[in-house]
Amino acid sequence: MFKREVRVLGLTYRVYSGCSFILGVVFRGRLWLDGVLYRRLESRDGILSELISMINESPHRGQIRVVVLDEMLYRILGLIGVEELYTNFKLPIIAFEEGRVAATIGVDDIDGFLRVAASDSGVEALRIASMMANRLIELLTFKS
């Protein structure tokens, strides 16, 4: 059973102008934004180790109870990368594709998790991470 304010890390991956980045949002259930994580990547090589470092270096590391991946990040990491994340952090990992759960590791009650962390628009941490990443790209590519 998941508490109403379970700390969820929603992770998204974006590419712009030949560079890429991972943006993460720590949310308490679907209620409160606790923090933002960001890592710029020079290439896809080593993305898993960069992701692990980003999470380990976060001041929220000890509070995170569930990690949620967006479709693009899940496709890059693959199931082996998701398993390595689980092995590294011993936290439940949930990956989404096309708005549906594509893979889970360490999650006993996916419905219970979705009740506390998701709304009609999906898992709130992932929705906000995606929205922030899209706005960041707009800012980075803004031409005056």
Q: Nearest CA to 44 among 15, 6, 4, 3?
A: 15
Residues 6+ apart with CB under 8 A from 9: 24, 25, 26, 37, 55, 60, 64, 66, 67, 68, 125
Q: Are 28 and 3 in contact (CB under 8 A)?
A: no
Tell me 102's DSSP state.
Answer: E
pLDDT per residue of the chain (144 residues) written in tens, 0 to 9: 788 889 999 999 999 887 899 999 999 988 899 999 999 998 778 899 999 999 999 999 999 999 999 999 999 999 999 999 999 999 999 999 988 999 999 999 999 999 999 998 899 999 999 999 999 999 888 765
The range of the structural domain enclosing residue 106 comes to: 7-140
**Domain CATH number, residue 49:** 3.30.2170.10
- The distance between the two most distant Cα atoms of the chain, rounded to a whole number of Å, is 50
Instruction: Supply the pLDDT for residue 82.
Output: 95
Is residue 62 assigned to a domain? yes
Is residue 2 assigned to a domain? no
Helix, strand, coil percentages, rounded to 5, for the chain: 40, 35, 30
Cα separation values, 17 from 116, 133, 137, 142, Å: 37, 14, 9, 12
Is residue 1 assigned to a domain? no
Three-point CA angle 43, 46, 50, nearest 5°: 100
Cα separation values, 63 from 9, 21, 58, Å: 10, 23, 10
Is residue 84 assigned to a domain? yes
Is residue 73 assigned to a domain? yes
d(CA 81, CA 89) in angstroms, rounded, equals: 12
Q: Are 28 and 41 in contact (CB under 8 A)?
A: no
Is residue 91 assigned to a domain? yes
Is residue 117 assigned to a domain? yes
Is residue 76 assigned to a domain? yes
Domain count along the chain: 1
